[in-house]
Structure 1
Amino acid sequence: MFDGLRKRIVCMWFPRLASDRVLRARPVDGPFALTLTQNNTNRIYCLNRQAEQAGLSRGMSFADARAYCPGLITHPARPDLDARFLVVLRRWAARYCPSVGAEGMDGLTLDVTGATHLWGGEEAMLDDMRARAERAGLSLLVACSHSRGAAWALAHYGQEGGGLETLPVAALRLEGTMITSLERLGLRTIADLEATARAPLARRFGPQLLTRLDQAFGRAPEALAPEGDPPHYGVRLSFPDPIGLTGDVMNALERLLKPLCTKLKAQETGARCLVLTFRRVDQESQDVPLRLAAPMRDPERLLRLFERGVGEVEAGFGIDQMRLEATLVEPLPAEQLSTAQTRPGEDRLSDLITRIGTRIGLENIQRFLPSDSHIPERSFMTVPAAFNGTPSAPGSGWRRGQLRPLRLFPPVPILGTGSQPPNQFRWRRMAFRTFRAMGPERIAPEWWQDDENWRSGVRDYWKVDTREGQRLWLFYTPQNPGWFVQGEFA
Structure 2
Amino acid sequence: MQRVVSLFLPNWPTDRLRRKLGDVSPPADKPLVLVGRHGNRRLVTAVDRAAIEAGLRVGMPATKAQALVQGLVVMDAEPDADAEALERLALWALRRYAPIAAVDTPDGLVMETTGADHLHGGEQLMLADMVERLSQVGFSARSAIADSWGAAHAVARYVKQTVSVVAVNATVDAIGPLPIAALRLPDAIVSGLRILGFDRVGELLKQPRAPLTLRFGPELCRRLDQAAGRLAEPIEPVRTFDLLEVKRAFGEPISAAETIAHYVGKLVQALCAELETRGLGARRLDLLLYRVDNRAEAIRVGTALPVRDVKRLTRLICDKIETVDPGFGIELMCLSAPLAEPLTPTQTISSLIEHREADISDLIDILGNRVGEEKLYRFTPVASDVPERSFRRVAPASAENGQAWQDHWPRPARLFAVPEPIEAIALLPDHPPASFTWRGIRRRVKRADGPERIFGEWWKRDAELAAVRDYFQVEDEAGERFWIYRAGDGEDAATGSHRWFLHGIFG
- What TM-score do the two structures reach when normalised by structure 1? 0.48
Structure with max Cα Rg: 1
- What TM-score do the two structures reach when normalised by structure 2? 0.47
